[in-house]
Amino acid sequence: MDYRSVAELKRLITPEVPPVIAKPGSEQRLTWIDTLRGLATLLILLLHAVNLVNLFEAEPWEPLVQFNSLFSPYRMALLMLLSGMLLPQALKKELPEYTMRKIATLLHPFLVWTAIYGLTIHPEGVTYPRLWIGDSYLWFVLFLFSYYVLAIFFRYVPVLALVLASFTLSMAAPDDTKYMERYLFLMGFFFLGHYLSTSKTVLSSLTTTKVMVLALPLAVGFSVHSMMSGGINYKVEYILPTLAGIAVLIALSRLLAGTSWSQPMDFIGRHSVVFFVIHYPVTYGITALCFAAGLTSIPFVTAVALVVALCTCLVAALLRDRIWLTEYLYSVPMRNMRSHNR
């Protein structure tokens, strides 16, 4: 991700997975998906804590730059795949409810936090037109909303055809174009998640021993190559090793699900919207304060910014369940719909 530019589930037996930025506790949740989403979200927080020093004319700490590059091929692809796994259940809803839910849980927080970003961080403020088409850390949310909109029109198209078309068009798009190559690449993973959610045998086969024997060395080798190359993102030509890395992460998350090791990631995953939208302004503010105070140790500044951002997000997540007005920072409450669905 570009640093410039945001009641519990039945275990593995229910086809329904909660919306990626829905309020926790309203539906049952798949624990391993929470674990995986939490890990990907934490990696995004680390990425921004490391890279934001660039905005203050400082160089990021190289060891953490290289560490981030190990996960560059997987971070956003994994999040989009997990989001796509929610699509089959979402499409079962009537069109008005489907549309209102996506506006409430995706477009609403995008608009709220884009305004906050423009008012507090962007030098041209909220009047900068490109902010409103995702020229900030919130681009992922806008992309995701657009995929859910497109899914309405493509609902009768074979899912694998959508996956193939997305990846083919991404490969044909100009290199390093955010709204072409990246957009289409992540669209492929969104619809791939849709396919995996409706093909349980395929999803289960990704974590078998036979697959892991092949996937693990391929993923390790690809991660090292990404690190040595300065980070590989959104490249269809690397689709196989990217899928291998994601398969390894899925296997690891299913292995750790429900254990004490996964609990911190589970919490972040259940509150991913809070961590995602809040962390960047906090990280930016703390980084600015550190440099204003004359601190020059980049590792120290990075560590302080990351820890404060994590603590702030933690407090905000806890307050979300206790102060109902805070819900409007992350979604428009739809209590009537929730009551109807129970």
Q: Is residue 26 part of a domain?
A: no
C-alpha dihedral, 308 to 311 to 316 to 319, nearest 10°:
-140
Q: Is residue 6 part of a domain?
A: no
Counting as low any pLDDT under 70, the low residues of the chain are 1-29, 335-342
Q: Is residue 115 part of a domain?
A: yes
pTM for the structure as a whole: 0.88
Place of tokens 């681009």: 139
What CA–CA distance (Å, rounded) separates 62 from 68?
Answer: 10
Q: Is residue 127 part of a domain?
A: yes
Contact 10, 147 (CB under 8 A): no
CA dihedral for 262, 233, 153, 332, sign (positive or negative): positive
280 CB neighbour count, 10 Å cutoff: 26
Residues 156-160: contacts with CB within 8 Å, 24+ apart? 159/191, 159/194, 159/195, 159/198, 160/195
C-alpha dihedral, 197 to 198 to 201 to 202, nearest 10°:
-60
Please tell me the predicted confidence (pLDDT) of residue 335: 65
Q: Is residue 310 part of a domain?
A: yes
Q: Report pLDDT digits (tens) over 194-222.
A: 999 999 889 889 889 999 999 999 999 99
* Residue 7 tokens, joined: 């009641």
Please tell me the predicted confidence (pLDDT) of residue 9: 28
Q: Is residue 155 part of a domain?
A: yes
Going by the DSSP 8-state scheme, the letter that residue 49 receives in this structure is: H
Q: Report pLDDT digits (tens) over 75-133.
A: 999 999 999 999 999 999 999 999 999 999 999 999 999 999 999 999 999 999 999 99
CB burial of residue 336 (10 Å; 0-12, 13-18, 19+): exposed
Question: What is the domain extent for residue 277?
Answer: 31-341
Please tell me the predicted confidence (pLDDT) of residue 28: 39
Residues 42-45: contacts with CB within 8 Å, 24+ apart? 42/265, 42/268, 42/275, 43/68, 43/71, 43/75, 44/1, 44/75, 44/276, 44/279, 45/275, 45/279, 45/283, 45/306, 45/309, 45/310, 45/313
C-alpha dihedral, 291 to 296 to 301 to 303, nearest 10°:
-170
Contact 65, 50 (CB under 8 A): yes
Angle between helices 209-228 and 62-71 (to 10 degrees): 140
Place of tokens 């962007």: 122
Q: Is residue 4 part of a domain?
A: no
* Residue 229 tokens, joined: 């190359």
Q: Which amino acid is at 184?
A: L
Q: How many domains does the chain have?
A: 1
Q: Is residue 3 part of a domain?
A: no
* Residue 202 tokens, joined: 């395929």
Contact 48, 117 (CB under 8 A): no
CA 106 from chain centre, in angstroms, equals: 12
Q: How many residues are listed for the chain in this entry?
A: 342
